[in-house]
Each structure stands twice: as structure tokens, then as C-alpha cells.
Structure 1
Amino acid sequence: MVPMEWEIKPLSTETWDAYAALIAKHNGIFGGCWDTYFHSLERDPDRTYDSNRELKCRLVEDGRAHAAVVFSGDQAIGWCQYGSPEELPNIHHRKQYDAEADLVPDYRLTCIFVDRDHRRQGVTEFAIQGALDLIAQAGGGVVEGYPHERPTKKVSSSFLYNATRPVYERMGFEYVRPKGLKNTVMRKVVAPR
């Protein structure tokens, strides 16, 4: 059961401070990425924690970074990053994905992150649903997610950057195909609201 105090707010200049505090609490997440990995196909070896933070802030200010941020009171406790393929061109196993693509989705869900103090409480599904609701408000469309297959051995939830296939199945996504050895392509059509 979802706590009543949880709510979804879109990533924006108004929610930036709480979102940034969550990322900073986790040392920039994934080696100082600052949730920028999926925004660019080019890897700059000179990028740092600080330059990634500045890049993400600039993308938010320019309206080129979208996420459903989960709040508990004034504190951000998780998010689901989403955006168009143009906004989020970088996905794992991209060469295989492009070779096997049957369509270009309107939106991608690329990174889901939950504060370590709030894991295993339903934040992931709440964040995904929040992203789907924001997509519906923006006109809806075909949404793809790239979750991991169910792990066969114990894996830290911090490595499951896009949740698992069973989570997406519970949320009405359809399995399309494998992507790499441990990931999948899953798809859902979101009606406009």
C-alpha cells in the first residue's frame, strides 16, 4: 500500500533542489552520472561529478530533462526518467536495439532510481506510474521501457536501473523482445488525458 504522503511532481526548476539533494546523497549515482547517461550518445572522458551536475541542471532549466519525481513530504525519494528518443538517445545495447527495431517509440523510460532508505516499499512502481501519468497529460503515445529480466541470483537493487520485467508486466507493458543478455524491450500505449 502506497503511503498517503507520497506524490509525484515533474522534474523542473521548482523540484530541482530536492531531486539534486537525492542524487548528492547517493554520491551522484552510478559513479557521478547525475542521471545524464541516457541524454547523449557521446562519452566525454573529461566529464566529472560537477560537470555532470551542471549538465543535468542546464537540461532541466532548458526543459530537455523529464522525470516523475516521487516526494514524501518535501523530500525526493525516487524518480522515473522519461523522454523522447531524441531527448534520451543513449540506451544500453543500442546497436542491437536499432538493428531489430520495428518502430520508434514516442517515449522511453530509461532510469529509475530509489533512495536507499526507501527501497522495497513500492517507490519504483509509483514512479513508473507517475511517468505514465505525466506522459498521458502530455498527449500520450507509445512508451518503451528496458527492464532487466528477473535476476537468477541476488542483485543489489541499485544495479537495476530500469527495474525488472515482472514490474513492467504488472503495470500492463507487453514484452517485445530481448535486448542484450539480461534486458528486454517492453511496450505500452498510453492514451492521452
Structure 2
Amino acid sequence: MDWQTHPVTPDRFEDFADVVNPNRRATHCWCLSHRLRGPQIDELGDGSREQAARRLCEREHPPGVVTYRDGMPVGWASISPRADIPRLVGSRLIHPVDDVAVWSVICVVVRGGYRRQGVTTALLQGAVAYAAGQGAPAVEAYPVDPPGRMDTTMAFIGTRAMFERVGFSVVGRTDAVASKLPRLVVRRTLVGTDTR
């Protein structure tokens, strides 16, 4: 299998959409809620959530990466500098554990029909490699640690085990919960920083 991961630039927007919103529903999330508030979505996208997402792809740091398996877009990870994610910057529940200028993974999606086939591992490895190539000192995520099988309502958050498989370690806990489970702070250091 040939795995490739690329940032979601304007020329890859349709591939991103095929993963996160294959039916192109206007009211669908489009992975905007952590980056833009309602009025900002309206302003940036002229009232269209899809258009707002397209405009984010034009920025210096696109909102994430798409992973391809044998040329087919199969996964999405929202990853960028934490400083570019307003809901994290202003969060009262997910505090920075230190002053490292981390990049954050805030959403992971595997395309329907491709789940449980290794996509998440390839996706996270590709997302980390992309962040490293952009000079990120470390990548963080905020998963849960369910006692059994993951509830599908948490699928976009991810699990501790999912991140540990690609070299992340727990560095803290948040005050946030998802489906009644506390969220952790996991980190993978990329260049000479302390992971605690």
C-alpha cells in the first residue's frame, strides 16, 4: 500500500470534503468550530460553511492534512499551531502544559468504508511529519482513555492508545470531558524540547 499525507491546500479541498462531508451538507461541521465562531464563518465564507473552510485552506498553515491510500483520500486530521486555534487558545478547560509552541491535533476522521484498516496510524504519522517539516517543536492532542471499545461519539477526539501507537506520551490531563471521560494531553516531541 502506498500512503501519502498532504496539507489541505485549495487544490486538495475536494479530497478533504470527500472525507469529512461526502454528501456536501451545508450545515455539516466542516471542522470549523474550533477555528471560527458563527459571525467569522459568515464573514469568511459569505454565509457558507463550505466556503469558509475553502478560505482556511488558503492560509499559510492550512487547517490540516489529508491522507491518501493508493491515491484515494481516506483520512483527515485537523492539525496546526495551537496559537492558530482560537478555541484552544481561549479554553478554560484545556490549558497549555508549558510554554512550548506546540501544534495541536483537534480532530481525526477516517472516511466511511476505510475504518479499522490502519488509516489512523498512517494519518497521524503523516500529520506529525507535516508538522515537523513546518518546524513544529512538538505535536499535542487531547484524547480520551475509554475502559473498553470507543464510543462513536468520541471518534473525532481519538483515544490514548491511538496516539501512543505513533509515539505520543501522556504529559497531562485537562479539565475537559468527552462522553463523561476526562481528556488527556498527549505529546510527541519533535525537536529538543522536554516532554515532562
| Aligned residue number for residue 148 of structure 1 | 144
Q: Give how far 1:8 is off.
A: 1.4
> 1:13-55 deviations in whole A, cap 9, x for unaligned?
22112212333316559x6110112213x3459969x721111
Alignment size in residue pairs: 184
Pick from 158, 166, 179 the counterpart of residue 161 of structure 2: 166
| Aligned residue number for residue 189 of structure 2 | 189
| Aligned residue number for residue 66 of structure 1 | 63
Question: Cα–Cα, structure 1 residues 96 and 62, in superposed 2: closer, same or farther, change >3 Å?
Answer: closer
Contact 2:171/2:185, CA 8 A, preserved across alignment: yes
**Distance in structure 2 (CA, Å) of the matches to 1:26 and 1:113:** 15
The aligned amino acid for 2:119 is V
Q: Give how far 1:137 is off.
A: 1.2
Contact 1:148/1:164, CA 8 A, preserved across alignment: yes
The aligned amino acid for 1:184 is L
Question: Cα–Cα, structure 1 residues 45 and 93, in superposed 2: closer, same or farther, change >3 Å?
Answer: closer
| Aligned residue number for residue 10 of structure 1 | 7
SS in structure 1 at match of 2:106: strand
Question: Cα–Cα, structure 1 residues 74 and 92, in superposed 2: closer, same or farther, change >3 Å?
Answer: same
Q: Within the alignment, does 1:131 sit opposite 2:152 as a pair?
A: no
Pick from 55, 59, 84 the counterpart of residue 52 of structure 2: 55
SS in structure 2 at match of 1:124: helix
SS in structure 2 at match of 1:95: coil
Q: Which runs of 5+ in 1 are unaligned?
A: none
SS in structure 2 at match of 1:136: helix
SS in structure 2 at match of 1:103: coil
| Aligned residue number for residue 84 of structure 1 | 81
Question: Cα–Cα, structure 1 residues 71 and 103, in superposed 2: closer, same or farther, change >3 Å?
Answer: same
The aligned amino acid for 2:120 is T
Counting aligned pairs with the same residue, the percent is: 23
**Distance in structure 2 (CA, Å) of the matches to 1:155 and 1:27:** 25
- Superposition TM-score, scaled by structure 2 size: 0.79
Q: Give how far 1:92 is off.
A: 11
Alignment of 1:14-33 (within 5 A): 14-25=11-22, 32-33=28-29
Contact 1:105/1:144, CA 8 A, preserved across alignment: no
